[in-house]
Chain A
Protein backbone atom coordinates (compact mmCIF):
# COMPACT_ATOMS: atom_id res chain seq x y z
CA UNK A 1 0.00 0.00 0.00
CA UNK A 2 2.87 2.34 0.85
CA UNK A 3 4.32 1.76 -2.59
CA UNK A 4 1.01 2.64 -4.21
CA UNK A 5 0.59 5.94 -2.37
CA UNK A 6 4.16 7.06 -2.97
CA UNK A 7 3.60 6.32 -6.66
CA UNK A 8 0.78 8.82 -6.69
CA UNK A 9 3.06 11.61 -5.48
CA UNK A 10 5.51 11.11 -8.33
CA UNK A 11 5.07 12.69 -11.73
CA UNK A 12 3.05 10.34 -13.91
CA UNK A 13 5.59 10.05 -16.75
CA UNK A 14 3.99 7.10 -18.56
CA UNK A 15 0.66 8.92 -18.43
CA UNK A 16 2.18 12.07 -19.90
CA UNK A 17 3.88 10.09 -22.67
CA UNK A 18 0.67 8.18 -23.53
CA UNK A 19 -1.40 11.37 -23.44
CA UNK A 20 1.00 13.17 -25.78
CA UNK A 21 1.37 10.29 -28.23
CA UNK A 22 -2.36 9.58 -28.36
CA UNK A 23 -3.23 13.26 -28.68
CA UNK A 24 -0.92 13.51 -31.68
CA UNK A 25 -2.12 10.29 -33.29
CA UNK A 26 -5.83 10.69 -32.64
CA UNK A 27 -6.67 14.38 -32.27
CA UNK A 28 -4.27 15.84 -34.88
CA UNK A 29 -5.78 14.07 -37.94
CA UNK A 30 -9.27 15.21 -36.96
CA UNK A 31 -8.12 18.77 -36.36
CA UNK A 32 -6.54 18.79 -39.81
CA UNK A 33 -9.82 17.63 -41.39
CA UNK A 34 -11.76 20.21 -39.39
CA UNK A 35 -9.37 22.93 -40.57
CA UNK A 36 -9.70 21.88 -44.22
CA UNK A 37 -13.50 22.15 -43.96
CA UNK A 38 -13.26 25.86 -43.10
CA UNK A 39 -10.44 26.64 -45.51
CA UNK A 40 -10.73 28.43 -48.83
CA UNK A 41 -7.07 28.50 -49.82
CA UNK A 42 -4.33 26.33 -48.28
CA UNK A 43 -1.27 25.96 -50.49
CA UNK A 44 1.72 23.85 -49.56
CA UNK A 45 3.95 24.54 -47.60
CA UNK A 46 2.09 27.06 -45.40
CA UNK A 47 1.48 25.71 -41.90
CA UNK A 48 -1.74 27.71 -41.55
CA UNK A 49 -4.26 28.13 -44.40
CA UNK A 50 -3.94 31.34 -46.37
CA UNK A 51 -7.67 32.03 -46.29
CA UNK A 52 -10.45 30.73 -44.07
CA UNK A 53 -14.09 30.83 -45.08
CA UNK A 54 -17.36 29.02 -45.58
CA UNK A 55 -17.41 29.12 -49.40
CA UNK A 56 -17.06 25.35 -49.72
CA UNK A 57 -19.89 24.70 -47.27
CA UNK A 58 -22.15 26.54 -49.69
CA UNK A 59 -20.76 24.64 -52.64
CA UNK A 60 -20.96 21.23 -50.95
CA UNK A 61 -24.45 21.79 -49.63
CA UNK A 62 -25.72 22.97 -53.01
CA UNK A 63 -24.64 19.73 -54.71
CA UNK A 64 -27.65 17.58 -55.49
CA UNK A 65 -25.68 14.33 -55.04
CA UNK A 66 -24.88 15.32 -51.45
CA UNK A 67 -28.55 15.93 -50.63
CA UNK A 68 -29.59 12.79 -52.45
CA UNK A 69 -27.10 10.70 -50.50
CA UNK A 70 -28.00 12.36 -47.20
CA UNK A 71 -31.73 11.75 -47.66
CA UNK A 72 -31.12 8.19 -48.76
CA UNK A 73 -28.83 7.48 -45.81
CA UNK A 74 -31.34 8.92 -43.34
CA UNK A 75 -34.17 6.92 -44.95
CA UNK A 76 -32.12 3.72 -44.87
CA UNK A 77 -31.02 4.20 -41.28
CA UNK A 78 -34.59 4.99 -40.16
CA UNK A 79 -36.13 2.03 -41.98
CA UNK A 80 -33.44 -0.38 -40.76
CA UNK A 81 -33.61 0.83 -37.16
CA UNK A 82 -37.43 0.67 -37.05
CA UNK A 83 -37.55 -2.79 -38.65
CA UNK A 84 -34.79 -3.96 -36.32
CA UNK A 85 -36.68 -2.65 -33.27
CA UNK A 86 -39.90 -4.21 -34.51
CA UNK A 87 -38.43 -7.69 -34.83
CA UNK A 88 -35.70 -7.61 -32.19
CA UNK A 89 -37.34 -6.04 -29.15
CA UNK A 90 -40.10 -8.68 -28.84
CA UNK A 91 -37.44 -11.33 -29.40
CA UNK A 92 -35.23 -9.77 -26.72
CA UNK A 93 -38.17 -9.79 -24.31
CA UNK A 94 -38.81 -13.44 -25.07
CA UNK A 95 -35.15 -14.36 -24.56
CA UNK A 96 -35.02 -12.45 -21.27
CA UNK A 97 -38.30 -13.61 -19.77
CA UNK A 98 -39.90 -16.58 -21.44
CA UNK A 99 -38.81 -20.16 -21.36
CA UNK A 100 -39.12 -22.04 -24.60
CA UNK A 101 -37.43 -24.98 -26.25
CA UNK A 102 -34.07 -24.19 -27.85
CA UNK A 103 -33.84 -20.83 -26.09
CA UNK A 104 -30.08 -20.91 -25.43
CA UNK A 105 -28.98 -22.21 -28.78
CA UNK A 106 -31.18 -19.72 -30.61
CA UNK A 107 -29.85 -16.90 -28.42
CA UNK A 108 -26.26 -17.74 -29.26
CA UNK A 109 -27.07 -18.25 -32.94
CA UNK A 110 -26.89 -14.46 -33.25
CA UNK A 111 -23.16 -14.80 -32.69
CA UNK A 112 -22.82 -16.81 -35.88
CA UNK A 113 -22.36 -13.69 -38.00
CA UNK A 114 -19.34 -12.74 -35.90
CA UNK A 115 -17.53 -16.03 -36.45
CA UNK A 116 -16.80 -15.15 -40.08
CA UNK A 117 -14.69 -12.41 -41.62
CA UNK A 118 -17.34 -9.84 -42.39
CA UNK A 119 -16.61 -9.03 -46.01
CA UNK A 120 -16.40 -12.71 -46.93
CA UNK A 121 -19.86 -13.19 -45.49
CA UNK A 122 -21.10 -10.16 -47.42
CA UNK A 123 -19.79 -11.73 -50.65
CA UNK A 124 -21.60 -14.97 -49.83
CA UNK A 125 -24.83 -13.03 -49.17
CA UNK A 126 -24.32 -10.98 -52.34
CA UNK A 127 -24.13 -14.21 -54.35
CA UNK A 128 -27.58 -15.14 -53.02
CA UNK A 129 -28.97 -11.64 -53.63
CA UNK A 130 -27.69 -11.88 -57.19
CA UNK A 131 -30.11 -14.74 -57.85
CA UNK A 132 -32.95 -12.85 -56.13
CA UNK A 133 -32.27 -9.65 -58.12
CA UNK A 134 -31.73 -7.70 -54.91
CA UNK A 135 -28.38 -6.24 -56.03
CA UNK A 136 -28.58 -2.48 -56.50
CA UNK A 137 -31.95 -2.18 -54.74
CA UNK A 138 -33.03 -0.27 -51.64
CA UNK A 139 -34.45 -3.37 -49.95
CA UNK A 140 -31.33 -5.39 -50.66
CA UNK A 141 -29.30 -2.83 -48.71
CA UNK A 142 -31.97 -2.73 -45.97
CA UNK A 143 -31.72 -6.51 -45.55
CA UNK A 144 -27.94 -6.56 -45.40
CA UNK A 145 -27.81 -3.71 -42.89
CA UNK A 146 -30.62 -5.26 -40.84
CA UNK A 147 -28.51 -8.38 -40.34
CA UNK A 148 -25.70 -6.15 -39.08
CA UNK A 149 -27.91 -4.69 -36.33
CA UNK A 150 -29.39 -7.98 -35.08
CA UNK A 151 -26.84 -8.88 -32.44
CA UNK A 152 -26.68 -5.42 -30.86
CA UNK A 153 -30.44 -5.02 -30.93
CA UNK A 154 -31.03 -8.34 -29.21
CA UNK A 155 -28.18 -8.64 -26.73
CA UNK A 156 -28.33 -5.13 -25.27
CA UNK A 157 -32.14 -5.14 -24.75
CA UNK A 158 -31.97 -8.66 -23.28
CA UNK A 159 -29.60 -7.31 -20.64
CA UNK A 160 -31.98 -4.39 -20.11
CA UNK A 161 -35.04 -6.61 -19.63
CA UNK A 162 -33.11 -8.89 -17.29
CA UNK A 163 -32.11 -5.87 -15.22
CA UNK A 164 -35.72 -4.89 -14.52
CA UNK A 165 -36.77 -5.48 -10.91
CA UNK A 166 -39.12 -8.46 -11.00
CA UNK A 167 -40.55 -7.74 -7.55
CA UNK A 168 -41.97 -4.42 -8.75
CA UNK A 169 -43.70 -6.17 -11.61
CA UNK A 170 -45.13 -8.76 -9.27
CA UNK A 171 -46.29 -6.05 -6.88
CA UNK A 172 -48.07 -4.28 -9.70
CA UNK A 173 -49.66 -7.53 -10.77
CA UNK A 174 -50.80 -8.19 -7.20
CA UNK A 175 -52.40 -4.75 -7.20
CA UNK A 176 -54.47 -5.87 -10.16
CA UNK A 177 -52.57 -4.53 -13.17
CA UNK A 178 -52.86 -6.50 -16.39
CA UNK A 179 -49.75 -7.83 -18.15
CA UNK A 180 -49.76 -5.04 -20.73
CA UNK A 181 -50.17 -2.40 -18.05
CA UNK A 182 -47.27 -3.93 -16.10
CA UNK A 183 -45.10 -3.93 -19.22
CA UNK A 184 -45.99 -0.33 -20.07
CA UNK A 185 -45.72 1.18 -16.60
CA UNK A 186 -43.01 -0.90 -14.89
CA UNK A 187 -40.90 -2.83 -17.37
CA UNK A 188 -40.51 -0.29 -20.16
CA UNK A 189 -39.52 2.74 -18.03
CA UNK A 190 -36.76 0.71 -16.38
CA UNK A 191 -35.42 -0.92 -19.53
CA UNK A 192 -36.10 2.20 -21.65
CA UNK A 193 -32.81 4.13 -21.48
CA UNK A 194 -30.69 1.11 -22.43
CA UNK A 195 -33.06 0.25 -25.27
CA UNK A 196 -32.86 3.84 -26.55
CA UNK A 197 -29.07 3.57 -26.48
CA UNK A 198 -29.26 0.33 -28.50
CA UNK A 199 -31.58 2.00 -31.02
CA UNK A 200 -29.20 4.90 -31.33
CA UNK A 201 -26.20 2.63 -31.82
CA UNK A 202 -27.98 0.73 -34.55
CA UNK A 203 -29.10 3.98 -36.25
CA UNK A 204 -25.59 5.42 -36.25
CA UNK A 205 -24.03 2.08 -37.16
CA UNK A 206 -26.35 1.80 -40.15
CA UNK A 207 -25.70 5.40 -41.16
CA UNK A 208 -21.97 4.71 -41.43
CA UNK A 209 -22.23 1.19 -42.81
CA UNK A 210 -20.10 1.31 -45.94
CA UNK A 211 -19.21 -2.18 -47.10
CA UNK A 212 -22.69 -3.68 -47.49
CA UNK A 213 -24.03 -0.52 -49.10
CA UNK A 214 -21.09 -0.43 -51.52
CA UNK A 215 -21.19 -4.12 -52.42
CA UNK A 216 -24.97 -4.63 -52.58
CA UNK A 217 -26.15 -1.09 -53.35
CA UNK A 218 -23.85 0.04 -56.16
CA UNK A 219 -24.50 1.62 -58.54
CA UNK A 220 -28.14 2.51 -57.79
CA UNK A 221 -27.91 3.16 -54.06
CA UNK A 222 -25.47 5.92 -53.08
CA UNK A 223 -25.39 6.46 -49.34
CA UNK A 224 -23.29 9.15 -47.66
CA UNK A 225 -20.27 6.89 -46.99
CA UNK A 226 -20.43 5.58 -50.58
CA UNK A 227 -20.51 9.16 -51.88
CA UNK A 228 -17.57 9.91 -49.61
CA UNK A 229 -15.59 7.03 -51.19
CA UNK A 230 -16.08 8.54 -54.63
CA UNK A 231 -15.11 11.98 -53.29
CA UNK A 232 -11.89 10.53 -51.89
CA UNK A 233 -11.11 8.65 -55.09
CA UNK A 234 -12.07 11.11 -57.81
CA UNK A 235 -12.68 14.57 -56.42
CA UNK A 236 -10.04 17.21 -57.00
CA UNK A 237 -11.59 19.72 -54.59
CA UNK A 238 -10.23 18.66 -51.20
CA UNK A 239 -12.74 20.70 -49.20
CA UNK A 240 -15.81 18.71 -50.36
CA UNK A 241 -14.50 15.67 -48.52
CA UNK A 242 -13.60 17.75 -45.47
CA UNK A 243 -17.04 19.38 -45.26
CA UNK A 244 -18.71 15.98 -45.71
CA UNK A 245 -16.48 14.52 -42.96
CA UNK A 246 -17.53 17.23 -40.52
CA UNK A 247 -21.19 16.76 -41.52
CA UNK A 248 -20.91 12.99 -41.27
CA UNK A 249 -19.33 13.22 -37.86
CA UNK A 250 -22.36 14.97 -36.32
CA UNK A 251 -24.48 11.81 -35.86
CA UNK A 252 -21.45 10.07 -34.42
CA UNK A 253 -21.04 12.86 -31.89
CA UNK A 254 -24.68 12.59 -30.85
CA UNK A 255 -24.20 8.85 -30.38
CA UNK A 256 -21.12 9.54 -28.30
CA UNK A 257 -23.16 11.74 -25.98
CA UNK A 258 -26.10 9.36 -25.64
CA UNK A 259 -24.43 5.97 -25.68
CA UNK A 260 -21.80 6.69 -23.04
CA UNK A 261 -23.70 4.74 -20.43
CA UNK A 262 -23.71 1.64 -22.61
CA UNK A 263 -20.18 1.98 -23.87
CA UNK A 264 -18.47 3.27 -20.76
CA UNK A 265 -18.01 0.21 -18.64
CA UNK A 266 -16.52 -3.17 -18.99
CA UNK A 267 -20.03 -4.49 -19.67
CA UNK A 268 -19.55 -3.29 -23.22
CA UNK A 269 -16.20 -5.05 -23.59
CA UNK A 270 -17.75 -8.16 -22.11
CA UNK A 271 -20.28 -8.08 -24.94
CA UNK A 272 -17.27 -8.45 -27.22
CA UNK A 273 -16.04 -11.46 -25.30
CA UNK A 274 -13.44 -10.01 -22.95
Chain B
Protein backbone atom coordinates (compact mmCIF):
# COMPACT_ATOMS: atom_id res chain seq x y z
CA UNK B 1 0.00 0.00 0.00
CA UNK B 2 2.68 2.47 1.01
CA UNK B 3 4.78 1.33 -1.91
CA UNK B 4 1.87 2.01 -4.20
CA UNK B 5 1.28 5.53 -2.89
CA UNK B 6 4.96 6.27 -3.07
CA UNK B 7 5.13 5.09 -6.62
CA UNK B 8 2.08 7.15 -7.42
CA UNK B 9 3.53 10.16 -5.69
CA UNK B 10 6.81 9.90 -7.52
CA UNK B 11 4.98 9.48 -10.80
CA UNK B 12 2.95 12.55 -9.91
CA UNK B 13 6.16 14.40 -9.23
CA UNK B 14 7.61 13.41 -12.53
CA UNK B 15 4.38 14.39 -14.24
CA UNK B 16 4.28 17.83 -12.64
CA UNK B 17 7.93 18.29 -13.53
CA UNK B 18 7.08 17.34 -17.04
CA UNK B 19 4.28 19.89 -17.15
CA UNK B 20 6.54 22.60 -15.80
CA UNK B 21 9.23 22.14 -18.45
CA UNK B 22 9.03 25.60 -20.01
CA UNK B 23 8.79 27.15 -16.55
CA UNK B 24 12.25 25.96 -15.62
CA UNK B 25 13.84 27.68 -18.60
CA UNK B 26 11.91 30.83 -17.85
CA UNK B 27 13.10 30.90 -14.23
CA UNK B 28 16.77 30.57 -15.16
CA UNK B 29 16.56 32.90 -18.16
CA UNK B 30 17.75 36.15 -16.53
CA UNK B 31 20.93 34.85 -14.82
CA UNK B 32 21.84 32.79 -17.86
CA UNK B 33 21.35 35.85 -20.04
CA UNK B 34 23.63 37.85 -17.72
CA UNK B 35 26.37 35.22 -17.96
CA UNK B 36 26.01 35.21 -21.74
CA UNK B 37 26.05 38.99 -22.01
CA UNK B 38 28.68 39.83 -19.38
CA UNK B 39 31.02 36.82 -19.42
CA UNK B 40 30.84 34.90 -22.68
CA UNK B 41 30.11 37.78 -25.05
CA UNK B 42 32.85 40.11 -23.71
CA UNK B 43 35.40 37.31 -24.06
CA UNK B 44 34.43 36.50 -27.63
CA UNK B 45 34.13 40.17 -28.47
CA UNK B 46 37.55 40.92 -26.94
CA UNK B 47 39.23 38.31 -29.11
CA UNK B 48 37.26 39.30 -32.19
CA UNK B 49 37.92 43.01 -31.79
CA UNK B 50 41.65 42.58 -31.42
CA UNK B 51 42.16 40.32 -34.43
CA UNK B 52 39.46 41.58 -36.83
CA UNK B 53 39.45 45.35 -37.07
CA UNK B 54 39.93 48.44 -39.17
CA UNK B 55 43.31 48.80 -40.80
CA UNK B 56 44.94 52.03 -41.95
CA UNK B 57 42.90 52.11 -45.19
CA UNK B 58 39.59 51.85 -43.31
CA UNK B 59 38.91 48.24 -44.32
CA UNK B 60 37.97 45.54 -41.86
CA UNK B 61 40.37 42.67 -41.92
CA UNK B 62 42.55 40.23 -40.05
CA UNK B 63 45.02 42.34 -38.12
CA UNK B 64 47.38 41.23 -35.38
CA UNK B 65 49.30 44.48 -35.04
CA UNK B 66 48.29 45.10 -31.41
CA UNK B 67 49.71 41.69 -30.46
CA UNK B 68 52.86 42.35 -32.48
CA UNK B 69 53.19 45.64 -30.60
CA UNK B 70 52.78 43.95 -27.21
CA UNK B 71 55.38 41.29 -27.91
CA UNK B 72 57.88 43.76 -29.38
CA UNK B 73 57.45 46.46 -26.75
CA UNK B 74 60.05 46.07 -24.02
CA UNK B 75 57.88 47.76 -21.39
CA UNK B 76 54.97 45.40 -22.04
CA UNK B 77 57.30 42.40 -21.98
CA UNK B 78 58.79 43.54 -18.67
CA UNK B 79 55.29 43.80 -17.23
CA UNK B 80 54.47 40.32 -18.47
CA UNK B 81 57.74 39.07 -17.03
CA UNK B 82 57.13 40.51 -13.56
CA UNK B 83 53.60 39.06 -13.66
CA UNK B 84 54.87 35.59 -14.47
CA UNK B 85 57.57 35.87 -11.81
CA UNK B 86 55.07 37.04 -9.16
CA UNK B 87 52.57 34.31 -10.06
CA UNK B 88 55.21 31.58 -9.99
CA UNK B 89 56.72 32.82 -6.74
CA UNK B 90 53.30 33.05 -5.08
CA UNK B 91 52.36 29.55 -6.23
CA UNK B 92 55.61 28.15 -4.87
CA UNK B 93 55.33 29.96 -1.52
CA UNK B 94 51.66 28.98 -1.16
CA UNK B 95 52.55 25.35 -1.65
CA UNK B 96 55.49 25.51 0.77
CA UNK B 97 53.39 27.28 3.43
CA UNK B 98 49.98 25.66 3.02
CA UNK B 99 50.86 22.00 2.45
CA UNK B 100 52.54 21.59 5.87
CA UNK B 101 49.66 23.42 7.56
CA UNK B 102 47.08 21.23 5.81
CA UNK B 103 49.03 18.04 6.62
CA UNK B 104 49.28 19.07 10.25
CA UNK B 105 45.56 19.86 10.44
CA UNK B 106 44.59 16.58 8.79
CA UNK B 107 46.50 14.37 11.21
CA UNK B 108 45.82 16.07 14.54
CA UNK B 109 42.84 17.05 16.62
CA UNK B 110 42.26 19.19 19.65
CA UNK B 111 42.26 22.85 20.57
CA UNK B 112 45.65 23.83 19.15
CA UNK B 113 44.87 22.57 15.62
CA UNK B 114 41.47 24.28 15.82
CA UNK B 115 43.27 27.53 16.65
CA UNK B 116 45.74 27.02 13.78
CA UNK B 117 42.88 26.33 11.37
CA UNK B 118 41.01 29.40 12.58
CA UNK B 119 44.09 31.55 11.95
CA UNK B 120 44.73 30.03 8.54
CA UNK B 121 41.15 30.77 7.42
CA UNK B 122 41.06 34.21 8.99
CA UNK B 123 42.43 36.19 5.97
CA UNK B 124 39.25 35.18 4.12
CA UNK B 125 37.51 37.79 6.25
CA UNK B 126 40.05 40.54 5.76
CA UNK B 127 39.33 42.56 2.62
CA UNK B 128 42.47 42.99 0.54
CA UNK B 129 42.21 46.76 0.83
CA UNK B 130 42.60 46.50 4.62
CA UNK B 131 45.42 44.02 4.10
CA UNK B 132 47.22 46.54 1.88
CA UNK B 133 46.92 49.21 4.55
CA UNK B 134 48.09 46.83 7.29
CA UNK B 135 51.04 45.73 5.13
CA UNK B 136 52.24 49.33 4.78
CA UNK B 137 51.93 49.97 8.53
CA UNK B 138 53.85 46.80 9.40
CA UNK B 139 56.44 46.31 6.65
CA UNK B 140 56.53 49.83 5.22
CA UNK B 141 59.27 52.35 6.05
CA UNK B 142 59.29 53.02 9.81
CA UNK B 143 56.59 50.37 10.17
CA UNK B 144 56.03 48.04 13.08
CA UNK B 145 58.84 45.67 12.06
CA UNK B 146 61.31 48.56 11.95
CA UNK B 147 60.06 49.74 15.35
CA UNK B 148 60.51 46.31 16.89
CA UNK B 149 63.96 45.77 15.32
CA UNK B 150 65.06 49.22 16.47
CA UNK B 151 63.90 48.53 20.02
CA UNK B 152 66.28 45.58 20.26
CA UNK B 153 69.09 47.48 18.59
CA UNK B 154 68.96 45.86 15.13
CA UNK B 155 69.10 47.77 11.82
CA UNK B 156 65.96 48.49 9.77
CA UNK B 157 64.79 46.02 7.12
CA UNK B 158 64.90 46.83 3.43
CA UNK B 159 61.19 47.35 3.08
CA UNK B 160 59.38 45.18 0.48
CA UNK B 161 56.81 47.99 0.03
CA UNK B 162 56.84 49.19 -3.60
CA UNK B 163 59.20 46.36 -4.63
CA UNK B 164 58.15 43.17 -6.49
CA UNK B 165 58.12 41.38 -3.12
CA UNK B 166 55.30 43.61 -1.86
CA UNK B 167 52.59 42.05 -4.04
CA UNK B 168 54.06 38.57 -3.46
CA UNK B 169 53.70 38.86 0.33
CA UNK B 170 50.24 40.41 0.08
CA UNK B 171 48.91 37.89 -2.44
CA UNK B 172 50.26 34.90 -0.53
CA UNK B 173 48.63 36.21 2.66
CA UNK B 174 45.37 36.67 0.81
CA UNK B 175 45.38 33.20 -0.77
CA UNK B 176 46.36 31.11 2.27
CA UNK B 177 42.78 30.34 3.45
CA UNK B 178 41.38 28.87 0.25
CA UNK B 179 44.60 26.98 -0.52
CA UNK B 180 44.54 25.40 2.95
CA UNK B 181 40.81 24.60 2.66
CA UNK B 182 41.16 22.98 -0.76
CA UNK B 183 44.24 20.96 0.29
CA UNK B 184 42.50 19.92 3.51
CA UNK B 185 39.46 18.72 1.57
CA UNK B 186 41.81 16.71 -0.66
CA UNK B 187 43.57 15.20 2.36
CA UNK B 188 40.18 14.09 3.64
CA UNK B 189 40.21 11.52 0.84
CA UNK B 190 43.37 9.88 2.17
CA UNK B 191 42.26 6.93 4.30
CA UNK B 192 43.89 6.41 7.69
CA UNK B 193 44.14 2.68 6.97
CA UNK B 194 46.42 3.11 3.97
CA UNK B 195 48.79 5.26 6.04
CA UNK B 196 48.77 2.78 8.92
CA UNK B 197 49.36 -0.06 6.49
CA UNK B 198 52.40 1.72 5.08
CA UNK B 199 53.68 2.44 8.61
CA UNK B 200 53.26 -1.25 9.47
CA UNK B 201 55.58 -2.28 6.67
CA UNK B 202 58.17 0.16 7.99
CA UNK B 203 57.70 3.31 5.88
CA UNK B 204 58.94 6.49 7.52
CA UNK B 205 57.08 9.82 7.47
CA UNK B 206 58.72 11.05 4.29
CA UNK B 207 58.01 7.81 2.45
CA UNK B 208 54.39 7.85 3.62
CA UNK B 209 54.05 11.40 2.37
CA UNK B 210 55.76 10.72 -0.96
CA UNK B 211 54.21 7.35 -1.85
CA UNK B 212 50.84 7.37 -0.08
CA UNK B 213 49.65 10.92 0.49
CA UNK B 214 51.05 12.89 -2.44
CA UNK B 215 49.61 10.72 -5.24
CA UNK B 216 46.17 10.92 -3.62
CA UNK B 217 46.12 14.70 -3.22
CA UNK B 218 47.93 15.69 -6.42
CA UNK B 219 44.60 16.67 -7.98
CA UNK B 220 43.74 18.92 -5.02
CA UNK B 221 47.19 20.50 -5.22
CA UNK B 222 46.62 21.29 -8.90
CA UNK B 223 43.14 22.68 -8.19
CA UNK B 224 44.45 24.87 -5.37
CA UNK B 225 47.31 26.14 -7.53
CA UNK B 226 45.05 26.75 -10.56
CA UNK B 227 42.62 28.70 -8.41
CA UNK B 228 45.30 30.93 -6.93
CA UNK B 229 47.12 31.36 -10.26
CA UNK B 230 43.89 32.56 -11.91
CA UNK B 231 43.46 35.10 -9.12
CA UNK B 232 47.07 36.19 -8.89
CA UNK B 233 47.91 36.54 -12.58
CA UNK B 234 45.53 39.45 -13.08
CA UNK B 235 45.39 40.69 -9.47
CA UNK B 236 44.84 44.40 -9.29
CA UNK B 237 44.38 45.89 -5.82
CA UNK B 238 47.46 44.51 -4.04
CA UNK B 239 49.96 44.99 -6.92
CA UNK B 240 48.55 48.47 -7.52
CA UNK B 241 48.97 49.51 -3.89
CA UNK B 242 52.05 47.53 -2.84
CA UNK B 243 54.03 46.94 -6.03
CA UNK B 244 56.53 49.06 -7.95
CA UNK B 245 55.26 51.52 -10.55
CA UNK B 246 57.55 50.04 -13.21
CA UNK B 247 57.55 47.28 -14.18
CA UNK B 248 53.98 46.74 -13.05
CA UNK B 249 51.85 43.60 -13.03
CA UNK B 250 49.25 42.94 -15.75
CA UNK B 251 46.32 44.07 -13.56
CA UNK B 252 47.52 47.63 -12.94
CA UNK B 253 48.99 47.71 -16.46
CA UNK B 254 45.60 46.91 -18.06
CA UNK B 255 43.84 49.37 -15.80
CA UNK B 256 46.28 52.17 -16.68
CA UNK B 257 46.12 51.41 -20.40
CA UNK B 258 42.32 51.45 -20.29
CA UNK B 259 41.60 54.40 -18.01
CA UNK B 260 44.67 56.65 -17.99
CA UNK B 261 46.18 56.10 -21.42
CA UNK B 262 42.61 55.74 -22.73
CA UNK B 263 43.58 53.01 -25.16
CA UNK B 264 40.90 50.28 -24.98
CA UNK B 265 42.35 48.34 -27.94
CA UNK B 266 45.70 47.72 -26.28
CA UNK B 267 44.01 47.12 -22.91
CA UNK B 268 41.83 44.41 -24.47
CA UNK B 269 44.88 42.95 -26.20
CA UNK B 270 46.58 42.69 -22.82
CA UNK B 271 43.45 41.05 -21.40
CA UNK B 272 43.37 38.47 -24.21
CA UNK B 273 47.05 37.73 -23.63
CA UNK B 274 46.25 37.22 -19.94
CA UNK B 275 43.45 34.82 -20.96
CA UNK B 276 45.93 32.95 -23.11
CA UNK B 277 48.41 32.48 -20.28
CA UNK B 278 45.70 31.30 -17.88
CA UNK B 279 43.57 29.18 -20.21
CA UNK B 280 45.11 25.86 -19.13
CA UNK B 281 44.57 26.60 -15.44
CA UNK B 282 41.10 28.00 -16.10
CA UNK B 283 39.91 24.94 -18.01
CA UNK B 284 41.45 22.58 -15.49
CA UNK B 285 39.85 24.44 -12.60
CA UNK B 286 36.41 24.56 -14.20
CA UNK B 287 36.61 20.88 -15.14
CA UNK B 288 37.46 19.90 -11.56
CA UNK B 289 34.64 21.97 -10.07
CA UNK B 290 32.14 20.65 -12.62
CA UNK B 291 33.20 17.05 -12.02
CA UNK B 292 32.89 17.57 -8.28
CA UNK B 293 29.44 19.10 -8.44
CA UNK B 294 28.22 16.66 -11.02
CA UNK B 295 29.52 13.59 -9.22
Q: Which residues of A line the B interface, CB within 8 A?
A: 1, 3, 8, 12, 14-16, 18-19, 22-23, 25-30, 32-33, 36, 44-47, 87-88, 90-91, 93-95, 97-104, 106, 108-121, 123-128, 130, 143-144, 146-147, 150, 154-155, 170, 174, 208, 210-211, 214-215, 218, 225, 228-229, 232-233, 238, 241-242, 245, 248-249, 252-253, 255-256, 263, 266, 268-274
Contact = CB atoms under 8 A, between A and B. Distances in A.
A124 B268 contact: yes
Given A44-B146, A124-B268, A110 B31 contact: yes
Contact of B259 (A99, A215, A263): A215
A117 B35 CA distance: 16
A269 B38 contact: no
A269 B188 CA distance: 11
A263 B124 contact: yes
B40 to A, nearest CB: 6
B147 A115 contact: no
B41 to A, nearest CB: 7
A117 B289 contact: no
B237 interface: yes
Contacts of A108: 286, 290, 293-294
A228 B267 contact: no
25 contacts: A12-B108, A22-B116, A32-B144, A33-B134, A45-B147, A90-B27, A91-B27, A100-B28, A101-B21, A104-B294, A121-B271, A123-B254, A123-B267, A123-B268, A127-B42, A127-B49, A147-B39, A170-B9, A228-B133, A232-B241, A233-B241, A252-B125, A274-B181, A274-B224, A274-B292
Given A87-B31, A144-B38, A255-B125, A120 B271 contact: yes
Nearest to B18: A99
Contacts of A33: 130, 133-134, 137
B227 A15 contact: no
Interface stretch (B58-66, B69-77, B277-285): B277-285
Contact of A125 (B38, B144, B151): B38
A111 B127 CA distance: 23
Contacts of B43: 116, 121, 124
A103 B27 CA distance: 11
A1 B195 CA distance: 11
Contacts of A269: 178, 181-182, 184-185
Contact of A121 (B36, B42, B120, B144): B42
Looking at chain A's contact residues, the main secondary structure is helix
B275 interface: yes
A113 B148 CA distance: 44
A28 B288 contact: no
B254 A270 contact: no
B56 interface: no
Given A124-B268, A255-B125, A272-B227, A44 B28 contact: no
A56 to B, nearest CB: 14
Nearest to A12: B112
Contacts of A46: 147
A108 to B, nearest CB: 5
Contacts of B34: 87, 146-147, 150
B23 interface: yes
Given A94-B27, A208-B129, A249-B126, A124 B42 contact: yes
Nearest to A89: B27
B45 A127 contact: yes
A19 B150 contact: no
A241 to B, nearest CB: 5
Which of A33, A101, A110, A113 has most chain B Cβ within 10 Å?
Answer: A33
